[in-house]
Amino acid sequence: MCTSEDGHIVVGGKVNEEEFLKCFTTDGDAAWEQRRDKAKDAEITGMCCVEGKKKYLVLSRKNKSLQLLDLVDGKVLSNCQVPFTLHHSSAAGAGCIIVMDNASNKIHQFKLKEAETPTLEKDEKIIDSHLENEFSIVTSDIKNGQNFFVTSWREKTIQAIDYSTAEVAWKITGEFEGKQIKPHGICCDDIGNLYVADGANQRILLVSADGKIEQKLTDMPGTAIFVGWLQSANRVVVHHRSQNNKNEEISILDLVR
């Protein structure tokens, strides 16, 4: 799942042998929907929205490619092949996208190049995630040299990495309110607050920009997987499994900051 600044929400998944993508607005109206044969398109491993002159959707795929789509209608614009297996991806401001190499846990940066056919081009910058296992990533405003943030549900860790030095700025592990944190998705709002899907504990945590868990914002009726920030509505979107883990649902949380 990912969100755009103007309020689009994109979710992806599988139904039998078909992969689906669906884009809709905060009022629940569908903007577009796609279904694809899994044999034709490699599995999606991550997605993010990025803005340039237009709004785009970036898909990370298991066939070592980044796919650039028009966010308005879902049309595929270009593909960028890379020499590593992609995992989660995140927009990083100023037309930048960062993605994780699933084998080495290194973070790579790409730039949006807008032309008649928009493309993504790899940057030379490579950053160590300082983690050994699978994680999700999200960035703060790297245009101003801020931190970006990584989570690992296997290592039970939330941490900030300084974009300019690539060093760990702070790290959270251990328990909160008597439960071992098991963080999955993470997002950042426009004033620096972090919202973390503490998946197995079925809750959303509020974390300050300096690395302190402030509070549990809400319990979720099932496993919280991904979170996204809707800047246009000052709300958090949560992608979660239902209580019986048979269905996946989207909830929009109306938070008072």
DSSP 112-153: EE-SSS-EEEEEEEEEE-S-SS--EEEE--GGGT-EEEEEET
Structural domain boundaries of the chain?
1-128, 145-154+175-257
Angstrom CA distances, 12 to 3, 39, 46, 223, 248, stand at 12, 16, 9, 17, 11
Is-contact 195 206, C-beta < 8 A? yes
| Distance between CA atoms of residues 69 and 40, nearest Å | 17
* Residues 6 or more apart in contact with residue 242 via CB below 8 angstroms: 221, 222, 248, 249
CA 4: distance to chain centroid? 11
Q: Which residues of the chain have pLDDT under 50?
A: none
Token couple for 92: 């990083």
Among 4, 24, 28, 25, CA closest to 12:
24
Q: What pLDDT, on the 0 to 100 scale, is given for residue 83? A: 86
Q: What pLDDT, on the 0 to 100 scale, is given for residue 118? A: 94
Angstrom CA distances, 16 to 47, 62, 242, stand at 21, 18, 19
Token couple for 203: 């809750």
Look up residue 42 and give its DSSP letter.
P
Q: What pLDDT, on the 0 to 100 scale, is given for residue 40? A: 59
Please state the pTM of the whole predicted model. Answer: 0.89
Among 47, 43, 46, 39, CA closest to 14:
43
CATH for 1-128 (1.10.760.10, 1.10.1200.10, 2.40.128.630, 1.10.240.10): 2.40.128.630
CA-angle at 47, arms to 158 and 195, nearest 5°: 35
Q: What pLDDT, on the 0 to 100 scale, is given for residue 170? A: 94
CA atoms within 13 A on the CB side of 4: 22
Q: What would the CATH number be for the domain defined by 145-154+175-257?
A: 2.40.10.500
Q: What pLDDT, on the 0 to 100 scale, is given for residue 145? A: 59
